[in-house]
Amino acid sequence: MDKMKGKVILVTGASSGLGHATAQLLTTLGYRVYGTSRKPDATLDVAWPMLALDVCSDLSVRTCLAEIHEREGRIDVLVNNAGHAFVGAIEETDIDEAKAQFETNFFGALRMMLGVLPLMRTQGSGHIVNISSLAGAVPFPFLGVYGASKHALEAISESLEYELGDTGIRVTLMEPDGMQTSIGFHHPRSAHPTLAGKRQRLLRQLEMNTREHGIEPAVLAQEVASVIEASIPPLRVVIGDMAKEIVRARRAMPETGFRQMLASRVQQITAGGAGTDRHHIP
């Protein structure tokens, strides 16, 4: 099988943002790409097939994977990109909101992994690329539930990589920071009287990053292409200079010093001093 044109790649959440950029680059490179969206837009002008997929539905996942298998007979790479972003203080978060966050970011990704793994084992090869976040490595205030869902994705991905050690199947986590995406931020139903103002200021910074000052989606797409082509792909890829700095600091600094550094950075944002400068937050 030709390395480039033979590989069949499934990219979830490929109608816009990171997923769209990734599907576009991989198609350009000659891979056989399938993208998904909960409600594919027939007017969307893309060079790859778009299939209906709701990662929160067992039936939808089975139907989507069965269609690709019927067309291609294999799935070589799964890019788990579909995501949900809830921004709220822990005291503003109810159980249903937390469950909704996990349903997409963790259970949705798990459904997809469980769906492709039997086929990959039969093939004797495959690669699962899970789009995590800097928040999956370093918790941030007001992103506690979002970060927890990405922490869970990180944990299960690392466990899976160990479990697949004697197979030809690999797992890679992408940990980007401040990407330009079209993701919509979900807000708490109930605002906390003393925390809502800080949360709203952080949300404004998040929106500015993702709409104006974030890292181009093409950067993540290129990293995905690189790990797919690598003979020994890494387990983790940190994307963004500030993300790399924060991850290094997390590993090297004493806990107290790191917490003080991060608290200072967050204070600049939530106190209203962000201005138009870009403060990197996941």
Highest mean pLDDT among 101-115, 172-186, 250-264: 101-115
Checking if the pLDDT of 201 tops 60, the result is yes
Catalytic choice (7, 15, 31, 37): 15
33 three-state secondary structure: strand
155 three-state secondary structure: helix
Q: What pLDDT, on a 0 to 100 scale, did the predictor assign at position 271?
A: 66
**Residue 150 bears catalytic tag:** yes
**Residue 31 bears catalytic tag:** no
Q: What is residue 107's DSSP assignment?
A: I
With left for phi above 0 and alpha for psi between -120 and 50, is residue 49 left, alpha or beta? beta
CA gap 272, 279 in Å, rounded: 12
Tell me: the pLDDT tens digits for 89-147? Answer: 999 999 999 999 999 999 999 999 999 999 999 999 999 999 999 989 998 888 999 99
Fold of 8-240: Rossmann fold (3.40.50)
Catalytic choice (7, 31, 132, 133): 132
Residue 49 burial by CB count (10 A; 0-12/13-18/19+): exposed, middle or buried? middle
**Which of these ranges, 27-36, 166-175, 223-232, 245-254, has the smallest mean pLDDT?**
245-254
Tell me: the pLDDT tens digits for 16-55? Answer: 899 999 999 999 999 999 999 998 887 788 999 999 999 9
Q: Which residue type sits at 219? A: V
11 three-state secondary structure: strand
Q: What pLDDT, on a 0 to 100 scale, did the predictor assign at position 185?
A: 74
The position carrying tokens 């990407």 is 179
**Residue 162 bears catalytic tag:** no
Catalytic choice (34, 133, 146, 157): 146
pLDDT band at 202 (very low <50, low <70, confident <90, very high): confident
Catalytic choice (31, 34, 37, 150): 150
